[in-house]
Structure 1
Amino acid sequence: MVIAKKWVLVREFVGKPKNGDFSLEEEILPDEVNDGEVLCEALYLSVDPYVRFLCNVMMKPGDTVVGEQIARVTTSKNLKYSVGDVIRLSSGWRSHTLVTDVSQIEAMPDLGDLPLSVVLGAAGVTGLTAFFGLEDKLQPLEGETLLVNSAAGAVGSVAGQIAKMKGCTVIGFAGTDDKVEWLKELGFDHAFNYKKVDVDDAVSMAAPNGVHCYFDNVGGYLSTQILPHMHRGGRVLIVGSIATYNDIGKSTGPYPFEDILKKCVNVNGFSIYDMYQKWRYGEVHLVKLLQQGKLRHRETITEGFELMPSAFIGLFEGTCTGKALVKA
């Protein structure tokens, strides 16, 4: 038998997630599997802010926390998968998974010499969010100005680099001086620590003619400070709202609608899961950029499955640069 570990939700989050909101439990999985099944062991597990958002939507106390992982097959009775194969699946925060329906296994792109972990980051869902958010939604043009917040994160750092490839002037906001320096290394034209600058003054200086495209990962008050700087007919893509995920109760403003009206701004929400049919195309493109050295990435890797909650909580404390992962 295999003694598997899993992190389950003890209670719905109230405010910022806490270690006590999770419980590490064990379950026994069989050594032998039935025809068509595979047993796998986690190698890397993704840590994502959307888990906070989904807590009250699709999880209830006692459920295994949702999430994606890269795993190695340890036992197989499926002709498609052999022992030792590396697979990707959304099985949640589990150390071992018995896959009874292999249609749940996602295809892996050909990575060449790239590390496996990029499939959960720059060449995975976060990279795809940046890629399709720009390609299919914002569609920035050469010479336009694009602003991205949480710019040193897994999504924002890729979005900013791709916008630079398109010939845009790129402005990035991040939460530490180290992150700002990294954005400059990535080629951002302007990078600011939003905790240390007057946001209004910074955007006025960096985009005197207005912001054409706003890639919004954060929401909250920072976004209300950006909207008055939008170019008439500008485009806003709302990809995340991490600034308000932990809020208790309803926000009472400020309200952005007047700025949207005055500038005739186009505002759209975006979920990468609506683009699922195009993922394979996006992955091939991102892998190629990574292999060519045109796209750079960073990872914040926490060692040890037992530290999954700590790594997750760190997302809301600004401790991560690039993609947050746990190495099991």
Structure 2
Amino acid sequence: MGEEISNKQVILSNYVKSSVKESDMSLRTSKIQLKIPRGCDGAVLVKNLYLSCDPYIIQSMKKRNGYIASFMLDSPISGFGVSKVLDSTHTNFKTGELVWGFTGWEEYSLIKDTNILFKVHDKDLPLSYYTGILGMPGMTAYVGFFEFCSPKKGDIMYVSAASGAVGQLVGQFAKTAGCYVVGSAGSKEKVDLLKNKLGFDEAFNYKEEQDYDAVLKRYFPDGIDIYFDNVGGKMLEAVLNNMRLHGRVAVCGMISQYCLEQLEGVHNLLYLFTKRIRMEGYTVSDHYHLYPKFLEMVVPLIKEEKITYVEDIAEGIESAPGALVGLYSGRNVGKQVVVVARE
């Protein structure tokens, strides 16, 4: 048997019906053996270093949903993170290696399902980047933009939730492809970030706008070729009014709907055929085979400082519930990361 030590965990205390509250989670300290049990082949025991706060997590905090499996009550929340391997019975992962992928919201995790677990190859870049630009959000941005938006030089593009983990990358990828890019965000600070640091051509604060259709006509007088949708709802409806012929809509997320008990409808879907719009939803889990191709493109861009990534860091696993709740009110600026331990 290995050494037994304490293991702080973030536990799901209550299933969420609409908006998530910090009281829906609790902190618990359990015990864990720093050795994989006998007979547990193909598993990895890790020390978690960074945890990723992502909007989709609320879906698993609900009792029933048709998207991803629900968490179990009184058990640790799980999500993406960066970890160090302490013990392994898996042929692909060795003790001492750094990995990123699906793990528990706790100090130490025994990972039995390693289907979404990748080695950290480039240690010259910040490890926290593997929760964002070099991890799931980066892949989500890459797949959504290059595989679903079919970009062409000169395309006019709109990105909602543009300062978030995915949106900030989509906008920068679009600029490298020669697009004109406008983003929306929820504060003056975020709008300034989009225009002055991330290279967006224009940006606006959607919280200051009463009429989404009017603001889109102001920023897109000639219409929109590509919409990268992170919010859904009334914004999606307004965008369809302003799409150009043969426009493309990549549906990445719908954060405006995640905290609603009754989802909002979109009432102008007739534009899909009258304007010949292609609208398609996707999940990144279907596309991890493209990860090596993604790294080939994005790592040089980072090292040559042709692309920027903004993180919002919360220190300590105790800060994780508050950091997650803050996502749904837009409290974070950039990718929300929780530091559990530094290597």
Same fold (TM over 0.5): yes
Aligned to 2:278, which of 251, 263, 266? 266
Contiguous gaps of at least 5 residues in structure 2: none
Alignment of 1:200-219 (within 5 A): 200-219=213-232
Alignment of 1:261-300 (within 5 A): 261-300=273-312
Partner of 2:45: 39
Question: Secondary structure of 1:178's partner?
Answer: helix
Partner of 2:234: 221
Aligned to 1:314, which of 323, 326, 330? 326
Aligned to 1:231, which of 244, 254, 257? 244
1 CA distance for matches of 2:289 and 2:165? Answer: 22
Partner of 1:119: 130
1:29 equivalenced with 2:32 (yes/no)? yes
Contact 2:85 2:95 in 1 (8 A): yes
Residues 135 and 2 of structure 1: CA distance in aligned 2, closer, same or farther (over 3 Å): same
Q: Which moved more, 1:198-207 or 1:286-295?
A: 198-207
Contact 2:311 2:335 in 1 (8 A): yes
Q: Number of residue pairs matched?
A: 326
Partner of 1:192: 204
Residues 195 and 78 of structure 1: CA distance in aligned 2, closer, same or farther (over 3 Å): closer
Shift of 1:31: 3.5
Residues 254 and 31 of structure 1: CA distance in aligned 2, closer, same or farther (over 3 Å): closer
Partner of 1:53: 59
Tell me the amino acid that sits aligned with residue 247 of structure 2. Answer: G
Shift of 1:283: 2.6
Partner of 2:261: 248
Contact 1:29 1:98 in 2 (8 A): no
Tell me the amino acid that sits aligned with residue 269 of structure 1. Answer: G
Shift of 1:102: 5.8
Contiguous gaps of at least 5 residues in structure 1: none
Tell me the amino acid that sits aligned with residue 227 of structure 1. Answer: L
Q: Which moved more, 1:276-285 or 1:40-49?
A: 276-285
Shift of 1:291: 1.1
1:271-311: CA deviation from partner (whole Å, max 9, x where unpaired): 11111211222133222211111110100111010121111
Contact 2:97 2:119 in 1 (8 A): no
Partner of 1:8: 11
State the Cα RMSD in Å. 2.1
Residues 254 and 188 of structure 1: CA distance in aligned 2, closer, same or farther (over 3 Å): same
1:207-235: CA deviation from partner (whole Å, max 9, x where unpaired): 22210000000111111111111001111
1:147-198: CA deviation from partner (whole Å, max 9, x where unpaired): 0000001100100011011111101011000110111122211100111234
Q: Which moved more, 1:236-245 or 1:185-194?
A: 185-194
Tell me the amino acid that sits aligned with residue 8 of structure 1. Answer: I
1:128 equivalenced with 2:139 (yes/no)? yes
Shift of 1:206: 2.4
Tell me the amino acid that sits aligned with residue 5 of structure 1. Answer: K
Shift of 1:33: 3.6
Q: Which moved more, 1:48-57 or 1:23-32?
A: 23-32
Contact 1:129 1:272 in 2 (8 A): yes
TM-score normalised by L of structure 2:
0.88
TM-score normalised by L of structure 1:
0.92
Greater helix content: 1
Shift of 1:104: 5.7
Shift of 1:80: 5.8
Contact 2:49 2:84 in 1 (8 A): yes
Tell me the amino acid that sits aligned with residue 89 of structure 1. Answer: G
Shift of 1:30: 1.4
Question: Secondary structure of 1:8's partner?
Answer: strand
